[in-house]
Structure 1
Amino acid sequence: MASLDEKIAAMKAAKAPPKRHQEEHYSQAQHAWRMVTELVAGLGIGFGIGFGLDSLLGTSPWLLVLFTMLGFAAGVNVMMRSAKEIQEKRLAETAEEDEGNTHGD
């Protein structure tokens, strides 16, 4: 019975439709927007903190510039981590597909 279940599962996997190009493109667009949002959020938060501190301390525009730069750096850092995470996920998926192809023969 177990071997019959394995054969049925193998047949279903073989007949599974390939991933459509539109779905892949949509996924890439999601990742791109995520990265843009992270960068803009870093800039916005840095700008807000710098503007607030400049208003309180009267050091205009020095803290605004400083914290905007720090916000940009933080945004880029988060973007790079997201890109690395996405790359590792894709490499793991590719490795699984390759492993499945070698064992399926």
Structure 2
Amino acid sequence: MTEPDDADRMKALEERLRKAKGQPEVKHHSESHHSQAQLAWRMVIELVAGLGIGFGIGYGLDALLGTRPLLMVLFIFLGFAAGVKTMMRSAKEMQVEYRAPEGEEGNGDGREH
């Protein structure tokens, strides 16, 4: 495995070779691609966690109270709603983070002016 210094040196060497050959600049999108995939997985995990927690609570209460499957179904829907709410909050955070480097400043409530 290469050290960060080696990676930086390789990038600098590739840049010098590219300039010497007169080739256009190559933009690497792999870091942003991996970042977007990571954020997508985070949202999926939040949804599945909400469903799982809702199922667990509902199943546990059904076992204690003997109301199978009434509370399990109810809490699965509540877990789904909580997961979607958390996903939407994460999406809003990502949107604010994505817009910040572009210099777009909002009024803080997520809406356009």
- What TM-score, normalized by structure 2, do the two folds share? 0.67
Counterpart of 1:76 in structure 2: which amino acid? Answer: V
Distance of aligned partners of 1:85 and 1:18 in 2 relative to their CA distance in 1, 3 Å threshold: farther
The residue number in structure 2 matching 1:28 is: 36
What is the alpha-carbon root mean square deviation over aligned residues? 1.9
The residue number in structure 1 matching 2:66 is: 58
Query: 1-side partners of 2:30 and 2:64: how far apart?
Result: 50
Please give the secondary structure, in 1, of the residue aligned with 2:67: coil
Unpaired runs of 5+ residues, structure 2, are 1-24, 105-113
Counterpart of 1:29 in structure 2: which amino acid? Answer: A
**Equivalent residues in 2 for 1:1-105, closer than 5 Å:** 20-95=28-103
Q: Compare the two structures and name the one with the higher helix fraction.
A: 1
Please give the secondary structure, in 1, of the residue aligned with 2:59: helix
Distance of aligned partners of 1:18 and 1:74 in 2 relative to their CA distance in 1, 3 Å threshold: farther
- What TM-score, normalized by structure 1, do the two folds share? 0.72
Percent sequence identity is 69
Please give the secondary structure, in 1, of the residue aligned with 2:86: helix
Q: Which runs of 4+ in 1 moved over 4 A?
A: none
Query: 1-side partners of 2:40 and 2:34: how far apart?
Result: 10
Distance of aligned partners of 1:54 and 1:69 in 2 relative to their CA distance in 1, 3 Å threshold: same
Corresponding pairs, count: 81
Identify the structure with bigger relative contact order (alpha carbons < 8 Å, sequence gap 6+): 1
Counterpart of 1:54 in structure 2: which amino acid? Answer: D
